Amino acid sequence: MKRLFTLPVIILLIICLPIISRAESAKDVVKALMKLDAKFQTGLTRQDFSNGLADVKYEVKLFQLSEEVKKCPELTESIKKALNHYEWANEVLRECTGACIRLSVDKSLAQELLKLYPEAYNSPIYHVDYGNMYFLMASPLISLICSKASPEIENAMKLLTKCSQETNETNKEPNKKQTPKKKKKDS
């Protein structure tokens, strides 16, 4: 008897949980980005950063499955930009070994980073070697990259509020009541 009752409950949960989890997905992505940003600003280890980024990516995947992606394209773009900055910071961290004060990277990675973050050219971050390797100061570079994510997160918060208000207004529009048509009397 218990099996007969348990099976429908499990099926119902399998069907309903994704719908419930997607309901707040944009809000959850922005919260996860804010949490990672706050952790970065207060200091965190490579492992903590990697785990925080994994949490953000999970929320982004749920968001991408939701209808909000289509309803709020500006928000989606802002989230992608912030995530992209953190992914580049993570890429730099993956290149690090040991204390990682001075990072040695190949020419193509250095050029890509310097194209995305041209501020690094005129700072102590950027050092060129005579060859195919570039030396970058890891900590200031990571700080520069993550500092670019913060304004995107703030923008995403504003866009989330805007999209939420638009969605609420759309849902609150009164349904037009149809007035019954009067039947013509046959004379």
pLDDT tens over the chain, length 187 residues: 555 555 455 554 455 444 444 346 889 999 999 999 998 888 878 888 889 999 999 999 998 888 777 888 899 999 999 999 999 999 888 887 666 667 777 778 888 888 898 888 777 676 666 567 777 788 888 889 999 999 999 999 999 988 887 766 665 655 544 455 555 555 4
Least Cα distance to 138 among 162, 110, 116 occurs for 110
What secondary structure letter does DSSP report for 110?
Answer: H
Residue 125 belongs to a domain: yes
Whether 76 is covered by a domain: the verdict is yes
Q: Which domain holds residue 78?
A: 24-162
CATH number at 46 reads 1.20.120
Supply the pLDDT for residue 13.
47
Domain tally for the chain?
Answer: 1
* Tokens standing for residue 168: 């609420």
pLDDT at 180: 53
